[in-house]
Amino acid sequence: MISSRIPGFYNLSPEERAKKVVEFANLTENDISILQSVLPLDDADRMIENVIGSFSLPYGIATNFLINGKDYLIPMVIEEPSVVAAASNAARLARNNFGFMAEATYPVMIGQIQVKTDTTQFSRLKILGHKEEILSIANEQDQVLKKLGGGAVDLSCRIIDDYLVVHLLVNVKDAMGANIVNTMCESVASKIEELTDGKVILRIISNLAVERLARARAVFGKDDIGGSDIVDRIISATDLANSDPFRCATHNKGIMNGIDALVIATGNDFRAVEAGAHAYASLGGYHSLTSWEKAKDGDLAGSIELPMPVGVIGGGTMSPYARLSLKILGVKTSTELSCVAASLGLAQNFAALRALVSEGIQKGHMRLHAKNIVKIAMDNLVSEDVDYAAKFSDKAIIDKVSDLLVKEGSINVNRAKEILKDV
Ligand code: MEV
């Protein structure tokens, strides 16, 4: 297995980086060309309604991830600068210990059936008494899933106000599961009406996927991350997140920066993952999805736990882009993908907190911002004077001018043009 630790990856050109990924994941050149192609209009038109085109976003690779002893390159689709670099950097530091250790529960999703009945208590027990019958109706909907060892596995009932709410627990194996859970919930509705002498109001999956959790842990050496003071400050920053929802929303958003980028790259439903994460964080009072503690030796011990309803088959995961991402990741099961997602979330949170409690996050952002400004200045100059065009194709010039802009602290197109003329 080739290591995902690739020093200087960020300094390579996109083509050189692609070559490294091809090598790492044993891809063909054709595989990578998928990323340079646009989604065919016909395919887009089949996916949603009223299509007039498609929309692309940058596709980056987070390096350095070692999870449960296995190396991963993680594809990330995101428009925000610094996120991919931050995750890679955190993963590099985590490698100094054991990288990330991660695990996930069985992929069990919950479907809800809301029932209006006059006898909520009586009906609750009656439904529980007919559990096997209801589960077998649900399982008739997908024999293949049942054969694979999945399917409807349990049932519970809650009384909420005047309603009986039946929870159908479905092991969806390697799918995200919304389709099959919704189908199963719809299939058992008439039986539930018959048993409760009631009326079913709605039948739908719950995104608060408390039965489908992913967990990850990592230790960051205090000397690797700037000393004990940084360890203490990261813990204090997390204390604030746990006490203040205004801070916690941003803290958890940083975690989701990484997770969403992976979820999108693998064609999964990022709204479902977002909804589940924040709803889970709100149980018992809105709190951080991560914990940061000082280990005995003074190192920083981090952990994360959150619902992770992601699949590797069905829906958007079947698109060529998503298939390629799964191939780069080398993941075969939804459980393994969940472990990668949780590790990435933990890495992202560590990187954000470390930057926030030390130099701040703007410096990193500014470097990329400056590069964009230099590119705009180049384009302006090229359109004013074609002689400049050849010289400006050099990446080293962009780096040099953008470094100067950052150093001067005045990142604007006019100043970039002046420096470019001198260069
Ligand atoms: C920015 O997208 C994410 C951060 O705000 C996260 C955080 O504040 O923890 C940097």
Contact (Cβ atoms closer than 8 angstroms) between residue 396 and residue 371: no
Helix 395-408 to helix 362-384 angle, to the nearest 10 degrees?
120
Residue 339's Cβ-count burial label (10 Å; 0-12, 13-18, 19+) is buried
Terminal Cα-to-Cα distance of the chain (whole angstroms): 44
Cβ of 356 less than 6 Å from ligand 1? yes
Local confidence band at 307 (pLDDT 50, 70, 90 cut-offs): very high
For the record, the structure tokens of 134 come out as: 């209801």
Tens-digit pLDDT profile for residues 198-218: 999 999 999 999 999 999 999
Residue 89 tokens read as 């950097």
* Mean pLDDT (whole number) for 334-356: 98
Kindly report the three-state secondary structure assignment for every residue of 249-279. Answer: HHHHHHHHHHHHHHHHHCCCCHHHHHHHHHH
> Does the C-beta of 338 come closer than 6 Å to ligand 1?
no
Residue with tokens 């009406």: 193
Grade residue 1 by pLDDT with cuts at 50, 70 and 90.
confident
Average pLDDT estimate for 326-340: 98
Nearest CA to ligand 1 atom 4: 254
Q: How far is the CA of 288 from the centre of ligand 1 (A)?
A: 13
Residue 148 has pLDDT above 60, yes or no: yes
Ligand 1: nearest atom to the Cα of 247: 8
Q: Compute CA 197 distance to the chain's CA centroid, rounded to the nearest angstrom.
A: 43
Record: fold of 108-206? Alpha-Beta Plaits (3.30.70)
Q: Is any ligand 1 atom within 6 A of the Cβ of residue 375?
A: no
User: What's the full length of the chain, in residues?
Assistant: 423
Q: Which residues, at least 6 apart from 216, have a Cβ–Cβ distance to it below 8 Å?
A: 67, 100, 101, 102, 303, 304, 339, 342, 343, 345, 346
Q: What is the mean pLDDT of residues 85-103?
A: 97
Q: Whose CA is nearest to atom 6 of ligand 1?
A: 254
| Helices 83-94 + 334-356 axis angle, to 10 | 100
Write out the DSSP string of 359-381. Answer: T-SHHHHHHHHHHHHHHHHHHHH
- Residue 395 pLDDT grade (very low, low, confident, very high; cuts 50, 70, 90): confident
Report how far residue 342's alpha carbon sits from residue 70's, in angstroms, rounded to the nearest whole number. Answer: 15
Q: Is the pLDDT of residue 375 over 90?
A: no
369 lines ligand 1 (CB under 6 A): no
Out of 52-66, 270-284, 332-346, 398-412, least confident range: 398-412
Q: What is the mean pLDDT of residues 141-161?
A: 96
Active site members = 80, 253, 269, 365
The 10 Å CB-count burial string (b at 16+, else e) for 284-301 is: eebbbbbbbeeeeeebbb
Looking at residues 176-204, what average pLDDT do you find?
Answer: 98
**Cα three-residue angle 104-105-108, rounded to 5 degrees:** 125
Please state the atom number of ligand 1 nearest to the C-alpha of residue 361: 10
354 Cβ closer than 6 Å to some ligand 1 atom: no
Ligand 1 neighbour 253 (Cβ under 6 A): yes
- Percentage, residues of the chain above pLDDT 90: 86
Alpha carbon distance 107, 150 (integer Å): 9
pLDDT digits (tens, 9 = 90+) for 62-93: 999 999 999 999 999 999 999 999 999 999 99
In single-letter form, the type of residue at position 263 comes to: V
Angle 72-74-78 from CA coordinates, rounded to 5°: 170
Domain limits, the chain: 9-105+212-360, 108-206, 363-422
Report percent pLDDT > 70 for the chain.
98
Q: What is the pLDDT of residue 397?
A: 87
Average pLDDT over residues 385-405: 75
Q: What is the identity of the amino acid at 51? A: V
State how far the Cα of 207 lies from the Cα of 111, in Å rounded to an integer: 9
Least confident range from 66-70, 235-239, 282-286, 381-385: namely 381-385
Cβ pair 174, 334 in contact under 8 A: yes
DSSP assignment letter at 416: H
Q: Report the Cα 266 to chain-centroid distance in Å.
A: 9
pLDDT at 386 over 60: no
Distance from residue 349's CA to the centre of ligand 1 (Å): 8
Q: Which of 360, 223, 393 is nearest to 298 (CA)?
A: 223
- What is the pLDDT of the chain when averaged over all its residues? 95
CB of 247 closer than 6 angstroms to any ligand 1 atom: no
Full-model pTM: 0.91
Q: Of the residues 346, 354, 361, 363, which should be mutated to test ligand 1's pocket, given the most ligand atoms within 8 Å of the CB?
A: 361
Residue 251 CA: nearest ligand 1 atom is 9
Tokens of 357: 């409690």
The predicted structure's pLDDT at residue 389: 59
pLDDT at 342 over 70: yes
Fold of 9-105+212-360: 3.90.770
Q: In this predicted model, which residue has the larger pLDDT, 379 or 356?
A: 356
